[in-house]
Amino acid sequence: MLTIGILGLQGAVAEHMKQIQGAGLNAVVIKKAEQLKEIAGLIIPGGESTAIKKLMDQYGFIEPIKQFSEEKKPIFGTCAGMVLVAKQLSDSEDAHLNLMDISVKRNAFGRQRDSFEIPLDVKGLPEPFPAVFIRAPYAEKAGSDVEVLASLNDKIVAARQNHILVSAFHPELTNDGRFIELFIEMVRDANKNPIS
């Protein structure tokens, strides 16, 4: 059975675990970089991107996650995770993991009190997805090989580039498992066709 890891430094870890286990896969909390060798896909959950980056530095995660990505193992960044994988941040010179060709604006939809849920059209899903936005970012620009999966007010809020998936919203905070299934399919496909 495939195992998906959730980076357990901060954020909505338990909710992601519940969704993955509900889909019939193993889920583990990743607290040490060496655990990355044991998983087929990695979720970088929401939280506070600056705090997560500091903890990633402190616990030696930056280079191991970049190596994980170089091996074309799927990575899913939600909310702060979307900020962390971006190659460019609109309000900072210091991007974090530099994995996905998007330029991200942090807290772009406002503060915690501006949180909202909206039915969102997502490419590949026949019915709208109940997207929960909490201090959410969005991508202002995306490279030519980035597939935009969802936009809100002309701002990119979900996208995929090869083995990396991002969402500005929190799919783990809903009872709708369809978005996590997109990532699970990426993990299954990567394991059918491993990079040698």
Q: Has 163 been annotated as catalytic?
A: no
Q: How far apart, in whole angstroms, are the C-alpha atoms of residue 138 and residue 130? A: 17
Q: Choosing from 15, 16, 163, 172, which is the catalytic residue?
A: 172
For 99-135, b/e burial (b = at least 16 CB within 10 A) is bbbbbbbbbbbeeeeeeeeeebebeebeeebbbbbbb
Query: Which contiguous run of DSSP H or E holds residue 185?
Result: helix 178-192
Q: Which of 50, 38, 42, 40 is nearest to 10 (CA)?
A: 50
On the CB side of 72, how many CA atoms lie within 13 Å of its CA? 11
Q: Has 63 been annotated as catalytic?
A: no
Q: Choosing from 15, 16, 79, 163, which is the catalytic residue?
A: 79
Q: Choosing from 16, 96, 163, 170, which is the catalytic residue?
A: 170
Q: Which of 5, 151, 21 is nearest to 76 (CA)?
A: 5
Q: Has 38 been annotated as catalytic?
A: no
Hey, which residues are catalytic here?
A: 79, 170, 172
